[in-house]
A and B are shown apart, each in its own frame.
Chain A
Amino acid sequence: MRPSRLKRLTLLGALVLGAWLGAAAAVPAAELVAAKGTDVTSFDPGINPTPDAQQIITMIYDTLIQRDDNMQLKPGLAVSWRNVDPLTWQIKLRSGVKFHNGEPFDARSVKFTLERLSTPGDKAGGHVMFSSFGGIERVDTPDPLTVTIRTKRPDPVLPARLAQTFGAQMIPAEYTAKVGFPGLAKNPVGTGPYKLGQWLKDDRTILEANKDYWGGAPAIERVVWRVIPDDLARVSALQAGEVHVIVRVPPDQVPTIEKRGGLRVERVLGNVTNVFTVCGIKKDTGPLADKRMRQAVAYAIDQKSLIDNLFRGLAAPLGQGAPSTDFGFNPAIKPYPHDPAKAKALLSEVGYKGEEVLVRSASGYIVNDVAIVNATTEMLRKVGINARAEIVDIQTRLEMIKNGNVTGLLLINPQGTNFDTDGVVWRLMGPGGILAVHWKGSDPDQEFARLMEEARYTVDQKKRQQNYYRAAEIFADELPWIPVFQDVATFGISTKVKNFKPRPDWLVLPQRLGL
């Protein structure tokens, strides 16, 4: 044994260990670490359909129009927008904006992006946004900072479409033409507050601040978005101080987080609804074809009990098709109260003879879906409805949605993409919608359909609102869906993070935060 050698080895080991630990600790002063459940699948804004993915896309790219924390439209890459006539929108662009690679952002970028999105996906890099932008007929660029968009029919929702985080982000024309959509998907170039640093798929995405951002250089220089799929593990990472922000706090973990010093839970009503859609009532068959039966179901469901017991109060009762975050939500309509006596009275009025009512859901598709279905079934049985819970696989669920011959209740969670009644209720129930086969109100000769169609193609927002208010009354009386509740968006957050505002669209905007 030679002591000198051993000493040298120990010293070397200590050095290596020190260097390694040191390297791990070398992070910029302003680094925010956040965690969500799933990862982005591509950096092409046109092909990412999940909210978790949009979180990353939104940091790299900008939309023409943005939404403030209360979901009101505000200027983004566009400084103003107006109707020249019902078919034509004129949009003025922000000047001096550059993409991350130096390519100027101008009317050409807008034309390129919108022409792509209004071309069917299979012919334009496989995007999935045609449903939102297929109504665009032509995009013209009278000068570099002006764009006119002509739509096939009047489109009052166009500004909201241009603000949607699902795919409306502006992409660079020159760069994309050079590298192709797959190239953009791999090495994204946007105008956003952050640039992609490194992507370790399903582990973390590292984003570096864009010092030349048109909205001002972000105070937080680096953002690390980690992917932690397990709810409890995500909460643990927050508790251990490894991450500053987590998106989606499981309701039962809220007290745990709030009890711990240095952490808090932020919440706001979100734009996702949970409803039982009533299948197969167009043909006047099955026990639920009579609207009084559907009202009896609504009176029998104790929304508050579901919300308190299954979601620890983190949800809000709902009484209509659109959530309170959306344009056209009618504040005068109150949710059906829990009133078993009223439900029973309606049942005897209808002369209900105990026909079976199936209450269905897939398992694990919606938070607490099986529990919601079981609890609801019990509530229905209590008032005398012969309800039976049935858990179906996702394929059966899909078949039921599309097939007008199936009857019963099916738990779904409609979510709009553009904070407008059109984007949630009518997109599902209107022409071509996946729920159009179930209820008469979807048929063109019905008042409901007339109101919704008119609102879809009228640029006068006052007129639209009146239509939606009236349609919401019909909806609440007819109950083609039995509304159950509206989700609450939850964020677990370290008190070190400054200026955080929870948003109904679930987005975290690190460019506005401080540490």
Chain B
Amino acid sequence: MGWLGEAGRALGHLLVVMLGTASLVFVVLRLTGDPAMMVAPPGATLDDLAAIRRELGLDHSIGVQYVEFLRKLAVGDLADSFRYRRPALEIVSERAMATVQLALVAQLLAIAVAIPLGVIAAIRRDSWLDGTLTGLATLGQSIPHFWLGLMAIVVFAVHLGWLPTSGRGGWLHLVLPAITLSSYSMASLTRLMRSSVLEVLGSDYIRTARAKGLGAGLVLFKHALKNAMIPVVTLTGLQLGVLLSGAVIVETVFAWPGVGRLIIEAIHTRDYPLVQAGVVLMALLFVVVNQGVDLCYRWLDPRMAGRRG
């Protein structure tokens, strides 16, 4: 398949995913409740609610609303948010940077820590160091974010006063949320890296490399690591997708103005267009990241270039 064909295929894939996601969200949201109540002030009468419904275009049947939704979607219009009364896509885009920043920093941090730790744990297999690292990794995977986040705030911001408690400002504001958010990825990546390195180190070509007299370092860095990285790249891609689709809890605990929090609030207030726009954008990011992972495979293992998984 030519380069162009492949790009076209990827694009088609993207469109199908987006349309499916948008339609699913559209239908499910309309089963969840009446947004008029959320937009109205306390004490609104039934007439007021009816007027608000009319204004928001909710007085038509779901079918009519869906056709209207598709018609607008075709020209890239995801409608106005009910509460903000501004284009929903604009509101989500304004917030996307905060989420991308936090997700990328957290994921880079996770990779930077997990890969060396995983390798060390593998080389020193069954030593006390390996035991400690594996133990920490299990802990990191099992501690919930909200607890870790609140403890971090209490210790580092309130008692020690080293870092701000919450909000988005300079780089210092990123430290606690990024570490909290990275804890799970870091832990699972460390464990995966460890087992992956162990597996590769036990394979035939490594034995061959050793047999021809290469030093341990050269074997590890030149031969083993690249292959051991393949599952790690897969996991990193998946994790990044999840992080980008909104670290709701971390964003809430640290008052980080990201998309996850936005979508959750929009769900609570039945702000249909905002939820739709948020989910569509997240689906887009998810697909793009997955395509990126595909590209990485080809670099790591040229044999995959011809195949599609």
Contacts and interface: CB of A to CB of B under 8 A. Distances in A.
Interface of A: 20, 24, 38, 41-42, 44, 47, 49, 120-122, 126, 128-132, 166-167, 182, 185, 200-204, 226-230, 232-233, 236-237, 239-242, 393-395, 398, 402, 414-417, 423-424, 427-428, 432-434
Interface string B147-162: 0001001100110010
Contacts of A394: 32-33
B43 A424 contact: yes
A505 B45 CA distance: 22
B41 A131 contact: yes
Max chain B Cβ within 10 angstroms of own Cβ: one of A38, A121, A129, A230: A230
A41 B52 contact: no
Contacts of A203: 98, 167-168, 255, 257
**What are the nearest 9 A-B pairs in CB distance?**
A122-B55, A395-B33, A432-B45, A202-B257, A203-B257, A427-B43, A228-B255, A49-B41, A237-B165
A236 B154 contact: yes
A122 B54 contact: yes
Contacts of B98: 203
B88 interface: no
Nearest to B258: A202
Contacts of B153: 232-233, 236
B238 interface: no
B87 to A, nearest CB: 10
Nearest to B48: A131
Given A38-B265, A201-B94, 4 more contacts: A41-B85, A47-B39, A132-B41, A240-B165
Q: How large is the interface on B (under 10, 10 to 19, 20 to 34, 35 or more residues)?
A: 35 or more
Interface of B: 32-34, 37, 39-49, 51-52, 54-55, 81, 83-86, 91, 94-95, 98, 150, 153-154, 157-158, 161, 164-170, 252-255, 257, 261-262, 265
A507 to B, nearest CB: 15
Contacts of A230: 150, 166, 252-253, 255
B48 A128 contact: yes
Given A122-B51, A201-B91, A228-B167, A131 B253 contact: no
Given A131-B44, A423-B43, A433-B45, A47 B253 contact: no
Given A120-B51, A226-B167, A236-B166, A131 B43 contact: yes
A47 B41 CA distance: 9
A240 B164 CA distance: 8
B257 A201 contact: yes
24 contacts: A42-B84, A126-B85, A128-B40, A131-B40, A131-B48, A185-B86, A200-B168, A201-B91, A202-B262, A203-B168, A203-B255, A228-B167, A230-B166, A230-B253, A233-B254, A233-B255, A236-B150, A237-B166, A240-B157, A242-B167, A395-B32, A402-B46, A433-B46, A434-B45
Given A201-B95, A201-B257, A394-B33, A233 B150 contact: yes
Contact of B42 (A233, A239, A417): A417
A236 B158 contact: yes
A415 B52 CA distance: 20
A131 B45 contact: yes
Nearest to A123: B55
A237 B253 CA distance: 11
A3 to B, nearest CB: 28
A494 to B, nearest CB: 14
A49 B166 CA distance: 26
A433 B98 CA distance: 42
A128 B166 contact: no
Contact of A398 (B37, B41, B52, B167): B37
A201 B33 CA distance: 26
B39 A128 contact: yes
Nearest to B254: A233
Contacts of B42: 49, 166, 414-417
B36 to A, nearest CB: 9
Contacts of A24: 169-170
Contacts of A415: 42-43
A128 B164 contact: no
B95 A202 contact: yes
Contacts of B55: 121-122, 126
Contact of A416 (B43, B45, B46, B164): B43
Contacts of B95: 201-202
B264 to A, nearest CB: 9
